[in-house]
Amino acid sequence: MVLEYCELGTLDEHVTSIRGKHGRQGLHEETAKVIFGQLCNALTYCHDNGIVHRNLKSKSVLLDSQLNVKLADFCLAKILQTFSWRALLVHPICSDCMQYSAPEMFYARRYDGIRADIWSL
């Protein structure tokens, strides 16, 4: 697999570097709004095309030098077979994504993947 180069790395790495360089707690509010808006657009595109990410976290978001968002890490993604009730899914929980996962993903039951993705935002 080949991806375009994202100079700023992951969102997690970028926020960590800002804390180290500038002593701030995180992103400026306006920057956070831009990144969040792009994440919403990327996730909407996935959902409109029948894909649920299921592993959305700051380490799954890549940033180029212009702060353009690239959604990555689709290893747990699923293609929905039907949009009738958004194809409820059972999800294997990974330790790296637990803090971003919707509560219903922690139970060994079926859940709505689209709603769980939105929770992760």
Write out pLDDT tens, residues 73-115.
988 888 877 544 455 555 555 656 666 677 677 666 777 888 8
- Does residue 13 lie within any of the structural domains? yes
Q: What is the per-residue pLDDT for 94?
A: 60
Number of domains in the chain: 1
- Does residue 2 lie within any of the structural domains? no
- Does residue 35 lie within any of the structural domains? yes
- Does residue 105 lie within any of the structural domains? yes
CATH code of residue 26:
1.10.510.10
Which structural domain range is residue 114 located in?
9-120
Long-range contacts of 1-7 (CB under 8 A, 24+ apart): 3/62, 3/70, 3/72, 4/64, 4/70, 5/64, 6/62, 6/63, 6/64, 6/70, 7/63, 7/64, 7/65
Over pLDDT 90: what percentage of the chain? Answer: 42
